[in-house]
Chain A
Amino acid sequence: MREIHISQITAAVRDLCIKSNTHLGEDVLQAFAQAIDQEVSPTGKDILEKLVENARIARVEGIPICQDTGFAVVFVEVGQEVRLIGGDLKEAINQGVRQGYEEGYLRKSVCHPFTRKNTGDNTPTVIHLDIVPGDRVQLIVAPKGGGSENMSRVTMLTPAVGIQGVKDFVVQRVKESGANPCPPTIVGVGIGGTFETTALLAKKALLRPLGSENPDPELAALEQELYEEINTLGIGPQGLGGRITSLAVHVNMMESHIASLPVAVNIQCHAARHKEIVL
């Protein structure tokens, strides 16, 4: 079996926390460029240009794209032929988050739900762990800001409402969110599974690169329809009016129970941050 020391995991998570918060992905920058071409509102266009400038400053000066450097969400895939040595995997990830948020001058935004006392080091980390074939470990760090997360919802629809019911729920959610989640947003949609799975499907949909096609043609068509309808709402960049309310809609779907049609909408602000590494 291939051995990986957990200190490698800590170091990787640390670096990914810093990099994801200061280096906006090329796919997002390309989506901004396309949005600048498409936006008809002068204010909207001006805002999009400032977002490009913001990303440049963050990258060059090594400061966060957004002050809300998020709850650290870490997706880990461990190959079943890997043996992790040297300690506790989850603690190693938490340690990486602690180091990354301290050494990267990132904001610590995690607190007790009632007392609101800050934990001081941005832990605990939200960890999604999966065992996969192979002898590698993949780590994805996806810091998630509170503003757009607050606009996200899970619902259990009646199967009778069908695909139209799903579309209505998604569009209505974006409409009601208005300026709050920092549009232009990326809309992650999960359909099917159980209550918790549908939320995770929506979250994972946000990790797919912008501009990539959904491999399922049915879902690709649904994404396009939702994207077009959302961009008729008029919310626009920062909600100040315009065509580009969302940069993309990404849908993940799995089978559901015969009694259920679960749907989740996970809204992602334009600071769509995630970085990954394979060890």
Chain B
Amino acid sequence: MSDAIKLTPPLSDADVESLRIGDRVLITGAIYTGRDAAHKRLTDLIQAGKHLPFEIQGQIIYYVGPSPAKPGRAVGAAGPTTSYRMDAYAPELMRFGLKGMIGKGARNQDVKDAMATFKAVYFAAIGGAGALMAQTIKNAEIIAYEDLGPEAIRRLEVEEFPIIVVNDVRGNDLYEEGVKRYAL
């Protein structure tokens, strides 16, 4: 397995274009959480011509709703949720500068097309490894929609958060390639 690529958001077009499916990436810095309900609110704001609660240019959204933090910890368990539920909203956020998405499971063609058009990339984290993933999350702060509880938008400070590139800007898909390679 090749060495991991280390990245810190905000990501540039060049950062994104350099990534290829199967690349292992370690993120250090700030990423934002968002899942179903938060995505709906963000795209509603865009449609109403209003500002988003954080500067989205170059940023990465992690599809996660962490479990509550025990005292002295940043988060509880914090693995990815299934991404297809965000497919309806993701292209609009990429149009406004979102460069990365972290989740699990395949994306639809609209999302893949938007990744090519707006230069963005989709990463997978290990689903169901929430206790392990949480070890790389050093701080968590709710920045919007506290009323959504686990679905509130949090700014996470991460250190060498491990992910893998599933969809790149060239239209490649690691899920499709993986199945092709190992199907009997």
Contacts and interface: CB of A to CB of B under 8 A. Distances in A.
A67 B77 contact: yes
A105 B69 contact: yes
A158 interface: no
Contacts of A238: 104, 124, 126-127
Interface string B46-80: 00000000000000000011111110010011110
Given A178-B106, A232-B184, A240-B164, A54 B175 contact: no
A97 to B, nearest CB: 15
B129 interface: yes
A63 interface: yes
Interface residues on B, range: 35 or more
B182 A243 contact: yes
A244 to B, nearest CB: 10
A147 B64 CA distance: 12
Contact of A50 (B81, B126, B166): B126
Contacts of B78: 67
Contacts of A182: 104, 127-128
Most chain B beta-carbon neighbours within 10 Å: one of A40, A105, A241, A243: A241
Contacts of B68: 105-107
A234 interface: yes
Contact of A240 (B66, B148, B151, B175): B175
Most chain A beta-carbon neighbours within 10 Å: one of B67, B70, B84, B182: B182
Contacts of A124: none
A265 B48 CA distance: 42
Given A40-B182, A118-B149, A235-B179, A180 B77 contact: no
A234 B127 contact: no
A179 interface: yes
B179 A51 contact: no
A213 interface: no
Interface stretch (A41-49, A85-93, A256-264): A41-49
Interface string A97-113: 00000000111110000
Contact of A180 (B1, B106, B177): B106
Contacts of A54: 126, 128-132
Nearest to A116: B37
A27 to B, nearest CB: 16
Interface string A161-202: 000000000000000001111100000000000000000000
B150 interface: yes
A61 interface: yes
Contact of B104 (A62, A179, A234, A242): A179
A65 B130 contact: yes
Contact of B178 (A106, A150, A234): A234
Most chain A beta-carbon neighbours within 10 Å: one of B76, B78, B164, B178: B178
A45 B53 CA distance: 40
Given A61-B131, A240-B174, A240-B175, 14 more contacts: A51-B126, A66-B77, A66-B129, A66-B130, A67-B66, A108-B150, A120-B149, A150-B82, A179-B104, A234-B178, A235-B178, A238-B124, A243-B182, A270-B128
6 contacts: A54-B126, A63-B76, A67-B130, A233-B183, A240-B124, A241-B175
Closest 4 CB pairs of A and B: A241-B178, A234-B183, A234-B182, A182-B127
